[in-house]
Amino acid sequence: MKHNIVIIGAGPSGIEAAHCLAVSGEHVTVFEKMEDPLENLRNKAFLFPDFTSASELTETFRTKLQHPYITYRGGTSITDMERMDGRWVLTTDRGEKIDTDDVILATGYRPFDASRKEELGYGIYNGVVTSLDMEKMLLRGRVVNSIGDLPSRVAFLQCVGSRDSKVGNNYCSKVCCITAAKQAVEVKKLLPEAEVFIFYMDLRMWGQGFEEIYRSSQQDYGIRYIRGRISEAAGTFDGKVQIKAEDTLTGLPMKMSTDLLVLMVGMEPSEGTRMLAGRCGICGEYGFARSENRHLYDNVTSREGLYLCGSCKRPMCLEDVISDARSAAMELLKSR
């Protein structure tokens, strides 16, 4: 079957790029390995820095995906792609061959698997959760500890799977600092009596409005920031989590028990990103896809007719992903 444009991945970047192309008169087919699109976004409650409801954005993207020029193929993985006779030929997991002029890779990221940091006890002690688990609890409006009670103390740990040579990820995932601040504020809104701590190496509040949340989280919500990495988490007799850290500002070791330890997991290239970037010869550092030129041609690749958008290239926040998707659509249109 012949297509004009195929987009692989139906997260925010894939849908935004598809919609931009569709409103420009192009027919686009979007492949998504999951049945439903927007898997990562669907599990979020509120978005930084303005606490926008994630469900509003999800609905907006769903509406965009229904554009008449967009064909959505959920539950279909692309298992291979190669360039033949000036066109891309994609193979699906059902053995179907897809013939197309252009491809946009929007295969995105996967959250770091926190159980790889076994010293932090994820998957071992029920009081240890990830930022994704916390987001699901916030989405339901109920934050609970390992036995279903309301927690009196919650500790967040930054840089789990990011800036960590032990797991092979030396890069910063960019969104965790502000996400922790955001989630901490949300926890305090739900549980004003709870003590909330954030353990960090340094805080990278780089975006517009981020610093304000950081400041407000301390001044208005009493959230306490401790500069130090947690070295070890262990379950306690009463179902809590004991954590050890060094407060590097006071130079003292510290130990405390917490009802919940929230691991702020970083972003890694998704399996699809790794595999397809590898197949196309555009595999960059850490398995992310590599663009032609980071400054001038960040949406094009060394392969003709192959474009990139979103967090398949590197960790990105949602604002950047959406802008990048529009940029990718424009690059593709320019070539026509």
Under rule CB under 8 A, residue 152 binds another protein? no
* Interacting span for another protein (CB under 8 A) from 8-16, 116-124, 156-164, 219-227: 116-124
Under rule CB under 8 A, residue 179 binds another protein? no
- Per the CB < 8 A criterion, the answer to whether 106 and 310 are in contact is yes
| CA angle (176, 178, 179) in 5-degree steps | 60
Residue of 118, 202, 271, 285 interacting with another protein (CB under 8 A): 118
Q: How far is CA 46 from CA 72, 84, 270, in A?
A: 26, 44, 23
Q: For residue 2, how many other CB atoms are within 10 A of its CB? A: 8
Find the shortest distance in angstroms from Cβ 47 to another protein. 18
Return the number of the residue (118 or 285) whose C-beta is nearest another protein: 118
Find the shortest distance in angstroms from Cβ 126 to another protein. 6
Own/partner contacts of 214-218, CB < 8 Å, gap of 24 or more, are 214/178, 214/181, 216/185, 217/181, 217/184, 217/185, 217/188
Return the number of the residue (185 or 283) whose C-beta is nearest another protein: 185
Find the shortest distance in angstroms from Cβ 233 to another protein. 9
Q: Which residue's entry shows tokens 């087919």?
A: 29
Under rule CB under 8 A, residue 167 binds another protein? no
Under rule CB under 8 A, residue 232 binds another protein? yes
The whole-angstrom separation of Cα 172 and Cα 158 is 11
Residue of 173, 183, 217, 242 interacting with another protein (CB under 8 A): 242
Return the number of the residue (151 or 305) whose C-beta is nearest another protein: 151
- Per the CB < 8 A criterion, the answer to whether 231 and 119 are in contact is yes
Residue of 36, 80, 119, 304 interacting with another protein (CB under 8 A): 119
Q: If we measure between CA atoms, which residue out of 287, 71, 326, 87 comes closest to residue 171?
A: 287
Under rule CB under 8 A, residue 236 binds another protein? yes
- The secondary element (H helix, E strand) that includes residue 271 is helix 271-280
Tell me, residue by residue from 261 to 280, as one string, x for binding to another protein by CB under 8 A and - for no binding: --------------------
**Contact residues for 285 (Cβ-Cβ < 8 A; gap 6+):** 171
Under rule CB under 8 A, residue 83 binds another protein? no
Q: If we measure between CA atoms, which residue out of 269, 268, 279, 318 comes closest to residue 103?
A: 279
- Residue list 120-149, contact with another protein (CB under 8 A): 123-126, 129, 133-134, 136-137, 139-140, 142-148
Under rule CB under 8 A, residue 234 binds another protein? yes
Residue of 74, 207, 235, 284 interacting with another protein (CB under 8 A): 235
The residue type at 104: I
Chain residues that interact with another protein, rule: CB under 8 A: 115-116, 118-119, 123-126, 129, 133-134, 136-137, 139-140, 142-148, 232, 234-237, 239, 242
